[in-house]
Amino acid sequence: MKSNTNLSFLHLLQLLFYIITIVSGFHLPCFHLPPSKATRRQTLPTCQTSLTSPIPRTTLASTELSTSEHILFDLPVSNNGARCRIILYKKGIRKDQVEILSPAEVGGLKSSDYLNLNPAGLMPSLTIQKADNPYGINAIAESDTIARYLISEYSDAPSFLPDHPKSNQIARWHDMYLTPIQGCLYKPSSRLPFGNYADRKSAIAAYRKNLEVIEGFVGDLTGLYLCGDDISLADATLFPSLVFATFMLPKFDHAQPALPLTLTQYYNNLMAKDEVFSKVHDEIMSVLVDSWDAKNRWDDIWLAGQRDTAPGTIFDKILSGEIPASVVKEDDHILAFKDINPMAPAHIVIIPKDRSGLTNLRKASAEHIDILGRLLVTAGEIAKDAELGFGDGARIVINDGNDGGQEVMHLHVHVLGGKKLDNKLG
């Protein structure tokens, strides 16, 4: 009881202190009372949903977790966090300066405590809890922000060339175009879309294309690192993604090399000659192999574990032009043509150009949401096309499997009309 009373008195003092600070407008040095274990939970903020939280800040009593100047919340598998770890390792930043802890220490990525640090619920996040903090912010999120903070805060060599335009070009391109779609290499189908890409196949193609773009930015290697003999922020940014790409892209397509030529050379050189990079590689790989591979994470992932192995059909021959068809509509995704054996005055068949396992509708998964939408939108457009013979309405049919009367095992939508059809469905 006595200690609680003391604590309340101290908290009153703290409140008074803050009021004086606000009213006077002076910037007084911040202090935090370490709350007792019993009161800690009550001082934590109530749950904020992700992305509705304001600017990252913490009321977390993180000094209870570590007395270090900063805590980096991160895990070895996090390839964005790995860029910060490369900076820590290269600069020899000590544990009393930055301690790495798992987000599990504050209840996990989706806990209200963690969301206050990083409203996106992603790794990494950094708390600033050193005594002389002039920044007016005590938590920062996002790896580039944290990496740049560490570079300027701990100015010992190497500098990481934070103003080098080539480094910035590569790092920024990485963050703008590779990072948003990296999930296509490991996230389950339920997590679609990947960045701007509605399906895994197009996201993987875009991922490869952006690696080629970065290859172009790199040009000829003139040293061990991307900008020559000095390590830059681009090396810390790009290398962890190359670890992911080298391990995962072959799961989707063995035939193509994982990385373009210069990036392959760069990656192999770093692995052979730089201990910090091979250490970070091992950190990431330990999780990928011991956990992801061991738990068969790829089995359910389209194009990695799941592929279209069913025999081709007559529609492939129409698509390749081997068999002619009376095409009425076509774009990158669908082909629509007149049915060779029409069951109504107007009868159009619409197919996805890429079957992607859709031998029939019962094979549909989240991976197919985009193409299914496209098929139905096209069906609606065709059904109102008077030039194709449609009048006031149409019947849109998908025959599914043997019992449904399906003959061609490549998903297709029938659009029938040109007269009033009877209302029998069976």
By annotation, the residues acting in catalysis are 412
Compute, in degrees rounded to 10, the torsion defined by CA atoms 127, 129, 130, 132: 100
| DSSP code of residue 185 | G
Closest CB to ligand AMP among 325 and 383?
325
Interacting residues toward ligand AMP by CB under 6 A: 314, 318, 323, 325, 337, 339-341, 349, 399, 405-408
Which among 32, 96, 105 has a CA at the least distance from the CA of 69? 96
> φ, ψ for residue 39 (rounded to 5)?
-95, -10
DSSP 85-150: HHHHHHHT--TTTEEEE-GGGGT-TTSHHHHHH-TT--S-EEEE--S---SS-SEEESHHHHHHHH
CB of 397 to ligand AMP, least distance (A): 8
Residue with smaller CB distance to ligand AMP, 258 or 361: 361
Q: Which is nearer to ligand AMP, 38 or 343 (CB)?
A: 343
Measure the CA–CA gap between 116 and 37, rounded to whole angstroms.
20
Using only C-alpha atoms, what is the Rg of the chain? 29
- Cβ–Cβ < 8 Å for 68, 97: yes
Q: How far apart, in Å, are the Cα atoms of 220 and each of 90, 161, 177, 194, 391?
A: 24, 19, 22, 31, 63
In angstroms, give the least distance from the CB of 347 to ligand AMP: 7
CA gap 348, 79 in Å, rounded = 49
Residue 96 or residue 330: which is nearer to ligand AMP going by CB? Answer: 330
Structure tokens at 169: 């070009």
**Rounded least distance, CB 402 to ligand AMP, Å:** 10
* CB closer to ligand AMP out of 85 and 412: 412
Rounded CA gap, 235 and 284, in Å?
16
CB of 309 to ligand AMP, least distance (A): 20
Nearest to 232 by CA among 277, 285, 180: 277
Minimum CB separation from ligand AMP for residue 355, in Å? Answer: 13
Nearer to ligand AMP, 39 or 399 (CB): 399
